[in-house]
Structure 1
Amino acid sequence: MPAGERLVTSPREIVLNAWKTFSSRDAARIAALFTDDAEWIAPKGNATAVALDHTDHMVGAQAIACFIAQEMHKLFTDIDIAFRGVYADGDVVIVEERMRAALPGGKPYENDYCFVFTVAGDRIREVREYMDTRKGWRLVFGEEG
């Protein structure tokens, strides 16, 4: 490939590569996946955000990378992600997955998620996250929220 020329990658490939990079827990590599003004929007009051005293709307590549590389691992260990489906249309990629993990004290966590990624060029501009918030709350806090 000539110097200065970039490999064109589809939005689907960009998102699938992101999941591989997330597991590296390398904040610099993760931040490079997102636009500087990227947003990650999760349901308000979700159990993860409440348990970690964290926002449910992250703005900026650095904030998102810090959460993925460090913060979420304060609540979840032994994370296992199983993809159920990946669907792409233009710059939008939808990922359905099941996350299994251990909570503090070893209690099991298992919940289904849907992520809607919007890609801009070769980086992720927005992620909208959906999950069963009631189940998540019950698993994390042991009670209805």
Structure 2
Amino acid sequence: MDAPTSKDLVIRAWRAFATQDPARIAEVFTPDAEWLAPPHNATARTLDGTHHLVGRDRIVRFLATEFPTVFVADRSVEFTAITAEGTTVVVEERMRATLMNGNHYDNDYCFIFELRDGLIHRVREYMDTRRAEEMFTAATLDTTGQI
């Protein structure tokens, strides 16, 4: 059997993320992995304020425990493109979910994964931060369209 490609490894990682199983998620990261998102993004502010996660354990805690407290239901990810060159994989995706405030979340993302020894060593995350902020802070409408 052929060794998995960089693209295969990242797709496997996304499947692990979806399980919210800490052990499965931990298997795809190097111990010294980093996850960098835009400073002051709405998700980071809602949690502990950090946009730069350092270390496998910290990333696992975010993906398995913290993320589901913000994006509470109806989570879906639609890949729009995956491009791999050597140990770098770029994933473009659209994520939808229900937020903890009841609002609908719908945003486009770009992730750049850097692999080392077949594991994720660094993730750089980009999204429309203004759009996310609007969804996080907008008043929730009831079923009649009233605030």
In 2: Cα distance, 1:127 partner to 1:64 partner: 10
TM-score, with normalisation over the residues of structure 1?
A: 0.91
In 2: Cα distance, 1:105 partner to 1:140 partner: 7
Equivalent of 2:6 in 7, 11, 29: 11
* 1:29 counterpart = 2:24: yes
**Counterpart in 2 of 1:4?**
none
Letter paired with 1:73: P
Gaps of 5+ in 1: 2-6
Instruction: Tell me the SS of whatever aligns to 1:111.
Output: strand
- 8 Å contact 1:32–1:61 — kept in the other structure? no
In 2: Cα distance, 1:57 partner to 1:37 partner: 13
Provide Cα deviations, 1:93-139, integer angstroms capped at 9, x if missing partner: 00000000001242100000000000111100000000000000111
Instruction: Tell me the SS of whatever aligns to 1:135.
Output: helix
Aligned residues: 138
In 2: Cα distance, 1:104 partner to 1:18 partner: 25
In 1: Cα distance, 2:22 partner to 2:79 partner: 23
CA RMSD of aligned residues (A): 1.4
Identity of aligned residues (%): 46
Gaps of 5+ in 2: 140-147
In 1: Cα distance, 2:31 partner to 2:40 partner: 25
**Equivalent runs, 1:52-67 vs 2, <5 Å:** 52-67=47-62
Instruction: Tell me the SS of whatever aligns to 1:36.
Output: strand
In 1: Cα distance, 2:100 partner to 2:29 partner: 29
Letter paired with 1:43: P
Shift >3 Å, 4+ stretches? none
TM-score, with normalisation over the residues of structure 2?
A: 0.89
- 8 Å contact 1:86–1:96 — kept in the other structure? yes
Instruction: Tell me the SS of whatever aligns to 1:23.
Output: helix
Of stretches 100-109 and 129-138 in structure 1, the one that deviates more from structure 2 is: 100-109
- 8 Å contact 2:101–2:136 — kept in the other structure? no
**Counterpart in 1 of 2:35?**
40
In 1: Cα distance, 2:100 partner to 2:63 partner: 17
- 8 Å contact 1:116–1:127 — kept in the other structure? yes
Instruction: Tell me the SS of whatever aligns to 1:70.
Output: helix
